[in-house]
Every structure is written in C-alpha cells, then in structure tokens.
C-alpha cells in the first residue's frame, strides 16, 4: 500500500493556501469596500478590513510554502471566523441551493486550516 503522509500534508497545504489565495488576490484587485461596509455595519472601524490581506494573502503564502505553517493556518482560522461572524451567521444552520450546507466553502477553509494546525507542514516545506 502506498503511504506518504508528508505528500498528503503538502496536497492539503497547497489546496487550502491556493484556494484561499485566490480570494485575497480578488480583494487586492477589486478592493475591500464590501468588508469595510460590513465592519461599519457592526460598529467596528473600517480600517480593520485591511486585516483581510493578512488572512487571505500572507497566511495562504505561509501555508503554501510551509513557512511557519501552523501560524499561517491559525491566521486563516481567525479570518474565517471573522468572515462567518460578519457575513454568514444567518446561514450557519441552512442548506444551500444544491442541498449541501450553505457554508460549505467557509467550512472547508475553516476546518482544513484547523487540521493543518494539528498536522503541521510535513517534510516538504521551506526550512525555517
């Protein structure tokens, strides 16, 4: 039986980091006005929206590269908890249009990042 836990960890890191990175690039190109509006609507300072660049650009790069992977994954967890709290709380217990959980994507990012915290980066990483 073929077994390589380190390769599996790399695949998980690349998937989590790569997919999250697309969200950060979109915000870099299109702005963070939506997030600023959500924060203001919750009585929070709009400048906190810039934190999304940590959670969706820097943290995914850390995870992809395997540099301080657990810290990067923790930042993604925090990013997702904030996103769920600001935008998605009304969907926590609802089904999506195709019958799945309405927060499948957010749940994937959140729980995969939690798994990476526990698993660590594996052998295929930058030396740190």
Render 62-94 in DSSP notation, one character per residue: HHHHTSSHHHHHHHHHHHHHHHIIIIIGGGTT-
Domain encompassing residue 112 = 5-119
Q: What is the tens place of the pLDDT at every residue in 64-87?
A: 999 999 999 999 999 999 999 999
Question: Does residue 44 sit within a domain?
Answer: yes
Q: Is residue 26 part of a domain?
A: yes
Read off the pLDDT of residues 9-40 as tens digits, 9 standing for 90 and up: 999 999 999 999 999 999 999 999 999 999 99
d(CA 37, CA 41): 6
Report pTM: 0.93
- Residue 108 maps to a domain: yes
């Amino acid at each position: 039986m073929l077994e390589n836990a380190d390769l599996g960890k790399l695949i998980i890191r690349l998937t989590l980091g790569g997919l999250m990175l697309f969200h950060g690039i979109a915000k870099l190109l299109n702005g963070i006005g939506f997030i600023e509006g959500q924060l203001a609507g919750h009585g929070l300072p709009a400048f906190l929206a810039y934190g999304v660049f940590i959670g969706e650009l820097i943290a995914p790069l850390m995870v992809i590269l395997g540099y301080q992977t657990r810290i990067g994954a923790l930042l993604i967890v925090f990013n997702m908890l904030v996103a769920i709290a600001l935008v998605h709380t009304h969907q926590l217990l609802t089904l999506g249009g195709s019958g799945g959980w309405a927060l499948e994507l957010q749940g994937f990012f959140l729980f995969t990042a939690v798994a990476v915290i526990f698993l660590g980066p594996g052998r295929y990483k930058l030396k740190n």
